[in-house]
Structure 1
Amino acid sequence: MSSANLPIIVIVPGAFGTPEGFDKLLPYLTEAGYTTHPGSYPSCNPSDPTQVSSSQDIAHLRNNVLLPLLNENGKDVVIIAHSYGGVVAGGAAKELAKETRAAQGQSTGVVGLIYVVGNITLEGESLFQAVGGAYPPFIKVDKPSQGLAVIEPAMDVLYNDCDCVLQPELDTLMQPHALRAFETPPTAPAWAESAFDGRRAYVRTLDDCCNPAFLQDIWLEKSKVEWEVVDFKAGHMPFVSQPQALAEQITKFIDGFIAK
């Protein structure tokens, strides 16, 4: 398939992160012929953390990123969702699957979901509930101010398999995040729809100190749907520690989606 006909890859970052955190991954996706688009949302470092929620993040991604790409740009989309980005992307892609939109007379749609250690929450289940109803000790609540949180120490928790000389650069990529994003229930997830059967992929990070592999397994099992799961011996940020290998796996996933 020519580059012009390939789907656009929308990258939805995890909490505390920004699209710039994926910069090491992008050259490899570009080399493979893909165009990428950032999928940011309001709860990352908001001016007023009391005025955000997971459902607001979902609506923002859907209305300001996905629908314009599908309807105005006329492009198919593949979503890469990292960590909390899985909650946001899951809700935002609801009823946007290629098959669903084709039945409505639309020529474009979301052709696949790729979760990179993505959080999987059920309808009405907040991320806070999904991780057991308590924050891990590395999430520093009400820091730097009330209603926000940060992860400390970031290198140990998020970048445990990255070269420590990158710490100054990586520290600049982390932002405070609104706690209400984690504590408010999201809308129903797209991955639960049969239209995404054969179009769900999951990169399981085996050396993850933020979302341990056993927690990822719990999320996958409780989803009650089938995912194509590929294991990476990596920490929470494989797009930093193993960008080329991750890009190669992403293109394999997308090749599989397109072939269906």
Structure 2
Amino acid sequence: MATSSSNPTIVFFAGAFADPSCFDRIVPHFHKAGYPTVYASTPSLNPLDLSSASCANDASETRRNALLPLIEEQHKDVIVFTHSYGGIVGGAAAAGLSKVARASNNQEGGVIGLIYLVGNIASEGESLLQAVGGAYPPFIKQGNPSPGLAVIDPVIPTLYADADTSLAPSLEAAMIPHALAAFETPAPTPAWAESTFEGRRAYIRTLDDQCNPFFLQEMWIEKSGVSWETVDLKTSHCPFISCPEEVVAKTLGFIEKWL
């Protein structure tokens, strides 16, 4: 394996309702394998100003704050790792930044590949709400704790059905309100639609998912109209909590092939 200095940096895009620290259980395994990591922070997560919340703003801000410093300033290679709503944010943030495209313009660094862990896939101009069928599932509690925000309830069966029961109090406490506008505003152009990511799109499906059921994952992949390499985990929505080593092993399997 390459040394850590030449390994790409993995940039993590968390799902809705979650601080990026949700990935704290898997990151040490990537560090041990020699991969640096960065967390992208999504502005629509419990924002001070609801009027600025949108899917496009999430994408542009994470691009500006997480991806561009690595790629344009430090000329680093990057892997975009997304979970759930992070698929829409990270997918749009990475648009136009593929290493293949940048190399053709004699630019160093770029996004080597896209990893979607049960990541939401929305076409350009489509909102997440439209992508899930146009209606919120019953576990999305709209207007909670205040208008324009939502939380997931119940937390454990929806997101962490297979997690160690001793973690339940901390996992419930980690539920953060999210701006509904993020899910109701149109998604920007996604990186996965670019031909330069052919052979560099990976989707990890979660077979026992109560949040984004397997049939939705299948529908998104098919509707994207592009090819994805897929692997399956027999887990709930957040396997980085319940089986971090498995998530890392599947992810590194893709990355090492791309390198």
Uncovered stretches (5+) of structure 2, i.e. residues with no partner: none
Find the aligned partners of 1:223 and 1:144 in 2 and give their Cα distance: 34
- Hey, what does 1:67 align to over in structure 2? 68
- Tell me which amino acid in the other structure corresponds to 2:155: A
Find the aligned partners of 1:234 and 1:79 in 2 and give their Cα distance: 22
Find the aligned partners of 1:159 and 1:127 in 2 and give their Cα distance: 21
- Hey, what does 1:138 align to over in structure 2? 139
Find the aligned partners of 2:38 and 2:174 in 1 and give their Cα distance: 18
TM-score, normalised via structure 1 length: 0.98
- Hey, what does 2:202 align to over in structure 1? 201
- Hey, what does 1:175 align to over in structure 2? 176
CA drift at 1:71: 1.5
* Over 4 Å off, 4+ runs: none
Work out whether 1:216 is the aligned partner of 2:217: yes
Question: Alpha carbon RMSD of aligned pairs, Å?
Answer: 0.7
SS in 2 for 1:187: coil
Find the aligned partners of 2:77 and 2:53 in 1 and give their Cα distance: 29
SS in 2 for 1:251: helix
CA drift at 1:40: 1.3
SS in 2 for 1:175: coil
CA drift at 1:173: 2.2
CA drift at 1:72: 1.5
1:33-52 matches, cutoff 5 A = 33-52=34-53
Find the aligned partners of 2:256 and 2:177 in 1 and give their Cα distance: 36
- Hey, what does 2:191 align to over in structure 1? 190
1:83-106: CA deviation from partner (whole Å, max 9, x where unpaired): 000000111111100110111211
Find the aligned partners of 2:184 and 2:104 in 1 and give their Cα distance: 35
Identity of aligned residues (%): 54
- Hey, what does 1:151 align to over in structure 2? 152
1:69-108 matches, cutoff 5 A = 69-108=70-109
- Tell me which amino acid in the other structure corresponds to 1:104: N
* Conserved 8 A contact 2:75-2:110: no
* Conserved 8 A contact 1:112-1:199: yes
- Tell me which amino acid in the other structure corresponds to 2:164: D
- Tell me which amino acid in the other structure corresponds to 2:153: E
Higher mean Cα deviation, 65-74 or 10-19? 65-74
* Conserved 8 A contact 1:11-1:36: yes
CA drift at 1:47: 1.2
Find the aligned partners of 1:44 and 1:183 in 2 and give their Cα distance: 14
1:25-44: CA deviation from partner (whole Å, max 9, x where unpaired): 11111111111100111000
